[in-house]
Amino acid sequence: MFIVENYSLAVCFCIITMLCWGSWANTQKLASKQWDFKLFYWDYTIGIILISLLLSFTLGSYGEDGRGFIDDLLIADTSSYKNALIGGIIFNLANLLLVIAIDIAGMSVAFPLGIGLALVIGVLDNYMKDPSANKFLIFSGLILVALAIILNAVAYKKLPNQKKKSTKGIALALLAGILMGFFYGFVAESMSFDFVHPAEGKFTPYSALFIFSIGIFLSNFIWNTINMYWPIVGEKTSFTAYFKQGTFKIHAIGILGGLIWGLGMGLNLLSSEVASPAVSYGLGQGATMVAAFWGVVIWKEFKSAPKGTNKIISLMFILFIVGLGLIVYSKI
């Protein structure tokens, strides 16, 4: 199977992860003009399964190093399956809450708050399990990211007519962030971190990604079904609407969103052996800045903000970028 063997390539893959994780929600924005996000989300989860299978039967099945995808599934023990599935279940609930928060508050707010908090929690959780990075650098980076999150909330509060929406949107984004911070640790726990000679009973990144995606899809019958019939925001919908109202184009947009996110997750897991789970996850969650860029520049979510708000947003970007830089260098 294909294996990442040097830190520079691992960082490049994590940067691609950052772009994927920060950009997939644009497909939700595009689909929301014609399609309820609750229905969009089914296609999104299907896209994640499809990309996991594509990666597993190509990069994960060829080459002399490591263990092939099918062999990996057959040899893995129950605890590895359990951890990868739990990671998918937790991620799915967190991501669904994030999607709802995006629908309420926009990409430039929900992502930095939710995923920024997830970054802080996730890096801490993974660092405690594998403290191989420089402690001073990685914690300094986390402090700067936390300050950026606070600035984002301050900027959002300045938007007109956002008092009621901000309370619900911010609360959902923060809840999503807390849950999102823990899913990666379960997936990492299911994997061997010697990809060339994988430990007996543990997954390689490709099989971990696939079982993780199955956890997402299966739990969607619980989390998203509840959201469809008893929605936090918007009107209720049904499975009948999914099949009757969706066109090929609209389904394709949702699947594309899942393909984009899943590709990022796959590359991130491949990088985690060399970069460490803490750094790999932390850099990937720089997606917050990518999403905020889309929200501010493309979707114009702060166009009605009062004078001075742009300075707060600019400082937020600077703190995030410097914080992520420190997290990257903590492993060098």
| Residue 45: Cβ within 10 Å count | 27
Sorting pLDDT into bands at 50, 70 and 90, what band is 158? confident
Instruction: Give the pLDDT score at 292.
Output: 73
Closest CA to 209 of 96, 59, 24, 16: 59
Give the range of the structural domain holding residue 72, as residue numbers without chain letter: 7-329
Q: Can you tell me the distance from the alpha carbon of 109 to that of 173, in angstroms, rounded to the nearest whole number? A: 8
Contact 141, 79 (CB under 8 A): no
Instruction: Give the pLDDT score at 165.
Output: 55
Span 23-34, pLDDT tens digits: 888 898 788 778
In a domain, 98, yes or no: yes
- The more confident residue out of 80 and 118 is 80
Sorting pLDDT into bands at 50, 70 and 90, what band is 102? confident
Q: Can you tell me the distance from the alpha carbon of 248 to that of 246, in angstroms, rounded to the nearest whole number? A: 7
In a domain, 2, yes or no: no
Q: Can you tell me the distance from the alpha carbon of 98 to that of 203, in angstroms, rounded to the nearest whole number? A: 28
Q: Which residue has the tokens 């970069």?
A: 275
In a domain, 1, yes or no: no
Q: Can you tell me the distance from the alpha carbon of 73 to that of 68, in angstroms, rounded to the nearest whole number? A: 9
In a domain, 256, yes or no: yes
Q: Cα dist. 33→69, 103, 143, 189, 245 in Å?
A: 39, 11, 37, 39, 13
Residue 103 has pLDDT above 60, yes or no: yes
Sorting pLDDT into bands at 50, 70 and 90, what band is 107? low
Instruction: Give the pLDDT score at 231.
Output: 92
Q: Can you tell me the distance from the alpha carbon of 301 to that of 304, in angstroms, rounded to the nearest whole number? A: 8
In a domain, 247, yes or no: yes
Span 301-325, pLDDT tens digits: 777 778 888 898 889 889 988 988 8
Span 56-74, pLDDT tens digits: 999 998 877 889 899 999 9
* Number of domains the chain is built from: 1
Instruction: Give the pLDDT score at 269.
Output: 94
Structure tokens at 321: 């970028």
Report the percentage of the chain scoring pLDDT > 70. Answer: 96
Residue 90 has pLDDT above 90, yes or no: yes
Contact 260, 43 (CB under 8 A): no
In a domain, 13, yes or no: yes
